[in-house]
Amino acid sequence: MIVGTAEIRLSLREARTLKDKRRILASLKDRIRARFNVSVAEVDNLDFIQSATLGVAQVANDSRYVSGTLSKLIDMVRGFPAASLVDYTIEII
């Protein structure tokens, strides 16, 4: 069993309220789940309006598949217009 995780730090410059932040993150999380079939949740910076940290996890039987999926996911997040990718880490266990 291979477990891949990603920690994604984002800047949400357009968010002016926590409601804006929730709307932006809900849209991004829905797109990630629909396209990549992974688990995703906000895991840090919950009370900061213009920053967020998402945790992503995927389980499979092939490390190349998991690594490829998480890399494609990061590329998709880079292109998301309402959030800027600040930093990320990927770990394959």
At 39-93, the pLDDT tens digits run 999 998 777 889 999 999 999 998 999 999 999 999 999 999 989 999 999 999 9
37, pLDDT greater than 80: yes
Give the pLDDT score at 46: 79
CB 54 within 8 A of CB 8: yes
H-run or E-run covering 88: strand 84-92
Structural domain boundaries of the chain?
2-92
Indicate the fold that domain 2-92 takes in CATH: Alpha-Beta Plaits (3.30.70)
Tokens 């940290």 — which residue?
Answer: 53
Give the pLDDT score at 72: 94
pTM of the entire predicted model: 0.88
d(CA 59, CA 3): 5
What value does the mean pLDDT take over residues 13-37?
Answer: 92
